[in-house]
Structure 1
Amino acid sequence: MTTGSFGSFPVVRPRRLRGTPAMRRLVAQTRLDPAQLVLPLFVRDDIVEPQPLQSMPGVVQHTFDSVKAAVTEAAELGLGGVMLFGVPADSAKDGFGTAATDPDGVLNAATRVVAAEVGDALVVQTDLCLDEFTDHGHCGVLAADGSVDNDATLERYRDMALEQARAGSQLLGLSGMMDGQVAAVRAALDSDGFDDVAVLAYSAKYASAFYGPFREAVGSTLRGDRKTYQLDPANRREGLREAVLDVEEGADIVMVKPALSYLDLVADVAATVPVPVWAYQVSGEYAMIEAAAAHGWIDRERAILESITSIRRAGADAVLTYWAVEVARGLKGAA
């Protein structure tokens, strides 16, 4: 076995490939491109100007007008797509999330606006979940005992899928973590002539503390927790099992969420499934870096790039991140 040295001098010197910015750029094993980034956007229907989010500096709830400018910029920067979340007024929420299947509800209306604006330049994506639309804040319909009724929820998801497809969504993000949701939605789409609409399964979505700021972003009214349907953070093999099941049910893309605390899952899934694997850099990940940078504790720009690069390095083909526009600007400027 060679030691890689001659006498007291090393022969193998990995530092040769780190000596200059040009050399480091040339031999980089993981690269970022704007097309690998997806921008989550929140659209609210009872505001007249964008509303900043206190827990997510730089992120806003958009109006129907302001979201046009946001998606136009995203298209000009070459982002891969935008993921739309609807934020209805509290008065529009009920136990069944009726507003989610209202053709004129906030998410479906916003989807039509965005699809008309940039549908040829970006992949217009929509969150398919009931939590923003229910008064109890859960991702499904509740049974009499207060638990989430899996199969009754699947019927609501089927109806939501059809309305979102009719509104112009090209990729439905199934984030509710109900058993059988991919098969149910795929069947509904195909039977109604939407066989060209793709399905993104949030397959390994964990019951995470890192979703906290997102609750503000969507005006969540959650009572209790989601531990009976989202994954236990302690479980690794279960996340891979969910991804494999979703692919078998017809998912076109699978997701791991959150990203940074679950890079082992990203790697596991990427090594196993034949479809693209995405990861969601969630609100808490964003807020932690922004807060630490605001205190001067870390280099903000380096931390942002390092975090997204690590997600790509683990195997994610694309990353949902609230920094998508900022990072794309930097990449365009560096090109």
Structure 2
Amino acid sequence: MVGDSLNASAPVASADSGSANVSAVDTEGGWQPAKWPLPRVSAVDNLAAALSSRGFTDGVIRVLSHAAVRPDELRRKLADPAELRVQGGTLLIAETRLWSAAVVPHPANPREYGRRSYALGGAAANLRVLPEPTTSRDGLAELEILVDSPSTLAQRLEDAQGRLAKENPLGEDVAVDGVLQPLTVVPMTVRHRDGYRSAPLLIAADGSSRISAVHDLLDYAPSKVAYEWSSDSRRGERLYEVDEKGARVFSSGGEPRELTDALVRHAYNGESTTGFPPAAGFTAASRHWADVRAKVEELTKAVEAMAVVPVDEGGRSLVERDGWDDAQIAELRWRLDRSDRKLAAWADTYDFNRQAAQEQADEDQAS
């Protein structure tokens, strides 16, 4: 039976089949793939930061950081990639495991050239020829392809999956053993002549038949992978838990129950609800305190990053030279001051209670 993750190797990502603490199991129904847990948000964010430092575009950073089954592993391997000499240069390869729903077959697969109908073929032409991907205009380790519209690429991806699954049938083998050999996966940004937003993708430069077999078995439509599942349209919006009728679920305090990372992982992994983190008490407060510390660290890093943005490349810091809008800064400092006063009040309360407890203990000892 095929799983929802696969092995991949690429100038950015690849994967080996072995992994700590996760293994396949034998059941009455036969071999079953390992159930990989969703990675923590902090691990995804750390991988995104590592990719950003290497100059990838924002779209590719997003799809690649979310595609990694073990983002912490990929982040470490980025620091020491393998080298592969190819004609005209050297590829830097990091091996890791990717979610199969994050990779699509090569839309301009050279294997298809023999069956494509070209413009001179007459009215029977049913396939549009896609141009070969080119190197990023900014000289990054990414590919680019220009198509007429999203429907052009969507049709090509769907046709490629159907044709590859039919002419190079690997479905039965993949269903039994999974994907055994790694795929070569590279990032590619799709640009559209009709003005539609660019779509960052991870394409199988080698292994289109294998990923097509996986998608066919799991009933994944590559066009949805490209234009729906990888969409950034919900970025920044909060999600809330709903019941079977679609109505929001409210907490004991009457607030909508937000879908936190912990809740999503719980639902995804199917673990017992007894594993839910407590919503009250010191343990619950400690989880929020850890979140406060993490957010303060993020704020500190964001301020430091903004402080070094130059006026122009290699120049002086922009904010040191020009400063920043005083009204915006005043509003932010007012919000920070409110939090600072609240934290100070908690510290005073803790100190007061500690002194009261010590005085009570002294009285008890004296009596």
Same fold (TM over 0.5): no
TM-score range (shorter-chain normalised) is under 0.3
Q: Return the TM-score normalized by structure 1.
A: 0.25
TM-score, structure 2 as length reference: 0.23
